[in-house]
Each structure stands twice: as structure tokens, then as C-alpha cells.
Amino acid sequence: MRRRDFITLLGGAAAWPVVGRAQQGERMRRIGVLMHLAADDPEAQARIAAFLQGLQAAGWEVGRNIRVDTRWSTGDLPQLRKDATELVALNPDVILAGIGATAPVLAQTTQTVPVVLAQALDPVGAGYVDSMARPGGNVTGFIQFEYSLSGKWLELLKEIAPRVGRVGVLREPGPAAIGQWAIVQAVAQSMGVEAKPVGLPNATAIERDITEFSRGQNGGLVVLVSAASFVHRDLIIALAAQHRLPAAYSHRSFVASGGLISYGADLSGNYRRAAGYVDRILKGEKPANLPVQAPTKYELVINLKTAKALGLEVPPTLLARADEVIE
């Protein structure tokens, strides 16, 4: 395996906070973290570790001058709302929002506590901010990708699996899914590929719909960015392998778990950058004046073992462009 960046996990703790006393004369600041993933999810832990590394680099240390309160809730919206309410009630100086519904839930819960988004999808379209350049309220942060990237997944799928003539596009409801679907649909039309939307309401429906889709010829999958696809990633990867469906994903964690190919942002990098915004807010800057930013790096990852199992020969030109190759 080769990779341009390696993320070191801090301790592997499944939940924070760590409580301690501030040094004499130093004020203890409070940071809330709202995650919509399981506490024991390795990828979630890597993101939290990156966030804490970013804070440490800025001079913030858990137990010395900051306390971090984290809440986890996987696919449970009522619990997520409860967690958001609890975090806001703690009167934190700032809250970090993770994947999926954390952003809208926090936007509904508070209009005063500063919120930093680590991997937002469409904060302008969803109404959390006025504009990318001037958020204008209590919410700012970093987006996970730009909609134009959505077509790249289908392009890569066709490059690694030229026979694909039908593609199942896995998405969950919401503005972000509409934007991604529109781009994929346009690219599919230009390539002469039939695109069919596939919902992600629950595991049973996912298994049923992918199995039904696989009965046709020359099928493949494109998995759009969503909390649901991430929560169900092991099932999706297993079904793609079972039905011999080449699939393109938005993040390397899918490929590390057995998926074929991915292209997407270094999300741990987003969490480090979010720590920089938290630092600036703790030092007195306002979220309204901090522009929402796009990722600075995207990674192309290929799993050669999966390609071989699907009977695919990866073009040398595609291998040469890869940031990471898993063998």
C-alpha cells in the first residue's frame, strides 16, 4: 500500500471529555463536538484525533485549557436532536459539527453558539449560511466537496470498468443528494450510461434494491456523499462484491474496506482545518466573518485486490494518477 498522507490516531479513546484543572490564571474553555457516527468507528476516531491534533498545534490542550464534550449518535435523528440540545445547554464556547444531520440539527438548536462545520455538504443551499464568503450568522466551516466533483465518480468508474452501461446511484433524500444526482445524471447522459437512483433508507431496503439492480447486465454503482452511505458502507461494499458490481465511492475508507475506487477529500484534513477555525473563534473572531472553505486536497484510491476479483485490469494511466493503491 502506498499513500501520501498517514493519519496517526491519538490514543484510540472512544469518547471524550478528559477533565482536568486549568493552570492557575488560565481560563478553561469548553468545546462541544456533535458526531453522527458510532463512537467505536475507526474513521470517526481518526477524524476526532485530527481535530485534537489541530487544537494542540494551536496551543490548546485537553484538561489544561480546554474541555471537550462529545456526543455520538449513529443514524438516530431523535437522539441526535437530544445530544445537540444537551451540548448547547452546557454553554460551550464553540461546537464542532461532524457528518450529515449534525449541521441542520445544530442550526435548529442554536442561533447564538458558534458552530464550525467539519464536513458540510451544501450549507448555502440548506440555509445555514448566507454565502460561502460571508456566512453572516453563527455557523461557518468546511464543505466536504463541490458538486462538480460528483461527475468524476462516474468518469472514474467508466475508466476502470469500461463495460458499465447502467449505474445505480446510491443517495439519501435532501438538497445535497439532488445536487449530486443532477451532476451524475448529466454526465451519464453524455456517456450514454443509464442512471438509476437507489435509496438508502435502511439496511433491508439497501440489500433489496441493490440485489434487484444487479439482475440487469453491465451494472455498476456510484455511491454519493451522505451520512447513510457512510453508516452502511460495509453492507454496500459487501453487496457490490457479492453481485460483482464495480463501484465508485467518495472517500478512501470505502476502498480501504474492500471497495473498488474512490475520489474525495481528505476529511481528517478538514477536521484539522476546523480546529484552526475553533482556535480563531476562541480567540475572539466571529463565525459570521470566517468564510466557508472547500477542501484543499482530493485523493484517488484504488483497490487492486477488488479489481482482480471483479476481473478488471486497471489502466496504467489510472494507476499512475492514484494517491494510494491497496494491494
Mean of all residue pLDDT scores within the chain:
89
Q: 4 or 285, which is more confident?
A: 285
95: CB partners within 8 A, 6+ apart: 31, 32, 33, 34, 87, 88, 106, 110, 113, 114, 115, 116
Whether residue 39 has pLDDT greater than 70: yes
Least confident of 48-52, 72-76, 191-195: 72-76
* pLDDT exceeds 70 at position 4: no
**C-alpha span between 72 and 58 (Å, rounded):** 25
Judged against a pLDDT cut of 90, whether residue 9 lies above it is answered with no
The per-residue pLDDT for 239 is 98
**pLDDT score for 6:** 33
pLDDT surpassing 60 at residue 3:
no
Average pLDDT score over residue span 244-254: 95
Q: Please check the confidence at residue 209 and state whether its pLDDT lies above 70.
A: yes
Determine how many CB atoms are found less than 10 A away from the CB of residue 312. Answer: 17
| Interatomic CA distance for residues 280 and 278, integer angstroms | 5
Q: Is 219 helix (H, G, I), strand (E, B) or coil?
A: strand
Residue pair 100/126 in contact by the 8 Å Cβ criterion: no
Indicate the pLDDT class of residue 303, thresholds 50, 70 and 90.
Answer: very high
User: Is residue 15 very low, low, confident or very high in pLDDT (cuts 50, 70, 90)?
Assistant: very low
Q: Is residue 183 a contact partner of residue 147, using CB atoms and an 8 Å limit?
A: yes
The C-alpha cell 492557575 sits at: 24
Does the structure show a pLDDT above 60 at 10? no
Q: Which domains does the chain have, with CATH numbers?
A: 29-145+267-297 (3.40.50.2300), 147-249 (3.40.50.2300)
33-42, 172-181, 279-288, 295-304: which has the highest mean pLDDT?
Answer: 279-288
Between these two residues, 251 and 296, which has the higher pLDDT value? Answer: 251
Per-residue pLDDT band at 297 (split at 50, 70, 90) = confident
* CB atoms near residue 305 (< 10 Å): 11
pLDDT on residue 176: 79
Res. 75 pLDDT band, cuts 50 70 90: low
Specify the pTM.
0.82
Residue 131 contacts by C-beta under 8 Å, 6 or more apart in sequence?
Answer: 124
DSSP labels, 68-126: EEEEE-SS-HHHHHHHHHHHHHT--SEEEE-STTHHHHHHHH-SSS-EEEEEES-HHHH
Contacts of 136 (CB under 8 A, 6+ apart): 129, 130, 288
Residue 25: what pLDDT? 53
- 94-144 tens-digit pLDDT: 999 998 789 999 999 999 999 999 998 888 988 889 999 999 999 999 998
Give the model confidence (pLDDT) of 130-178 as tens digits.
Answer: 999 999 999 999 998 888 889 999 999 999 999 999 999 999 887 778 8
For the chain, the first-to-last Cα distance in angstroms comes to 6
Tell me the chain's radius of gyration from C-alpha atoms: 20
